[in-house]
Amino acid sequence: MDSHQTLIRVRYAETDQMGIAHHAIYYVWMEVARVELCEVLGFRYRDMERDGILMPVVETTCRYASSAKFDDTVAIDTKLAGVNSRMVRFSYHLSVNGRPVATGATRHVFLNREMKPTRLPRRYYPLFGLDLAAQPAVR
């Protein structure tokens, strides 16, 4: 899969006095799009957490190109931008009616319930597009 598109309508509560979406809300939209992409790939965050795998955000970027305004529909194209057995990176392209609004990325590490770095369980490899033969075996 190249990318997945999520549509979000800008709510009034997400805007400032001028009707422009607050810069911090873009990260919330990226999270919504990321969770939706994971479901399309075949797993849910909640299920991974039940399996003892956490994916905290360790790095974020967002470069703003233009404003999203109240009642705009923001299209967020999300894709896996890099993945290995220890971490995953997602990229995001946000637009309104084809007009670029922002680009961003988030990087996540895989942790166990004790909050220690761990390898992604092999059963998730195909869902993330990883080759089982190319990755080291998990002990």
Stretch 34-38: mean pLDDT: 96
Considering the domain boundaries, does residue 134 fall inside one?
no
Q: What domain count does the chain have?
A: 1
Domain assignment of residue 95, yes or no: yes
Answer yes or no: is 99 within a domain.
yes
Does residue 79 contact residue 90 with C-beta atoms inside 8 Å? yes
Question: What confidence score (pLDDT) does residue 2 get?
Answer: 80
In a domain, 136, yes or no: no
- Identify whether 18 is part of a domain: yes
- 133 within a domain of the structure (yes/no): no
pLDDT at 139 over 80: no
The sign of the torsion formed by the CA atoms of 44, 47, 51, 57 equals: positive
Please state, rounded to an integer, the average pLDDT across all residues of the chain: 93
Structural domain includes residue 54: yes
Name the catalytic one among 2, 16, 47, 77.
16
Q: What's the pLDDT score for residue 138?
A: 45
* Inter-residue contact 41 to 77 (CB < 8 Å): no
16 in catalytic set? yes
- Judge whether 26 lies within some domain: yes
The average pLDDT across 19-47 equals: 95
Question: What gap in Å lies between CA 81 and CA 92, rounded to an integer?
Answer: 9
Range of the domain at 97: 4-128
Counting every residue, how long is the chain? 139
Percent of the chain residues topping a pLDDT of 90: 91
pLDDT tens track for 66-91: 999 999 999 999 999 999 999 999 99
CATH code: domain of residue 33: 3.10.129.10
- Going by pLDDT thresholds of 50, 70 and 90, the confidence category of residue 132 is confident
pTM across the whole model = 0.91
d(CA 85, CA 130): 8
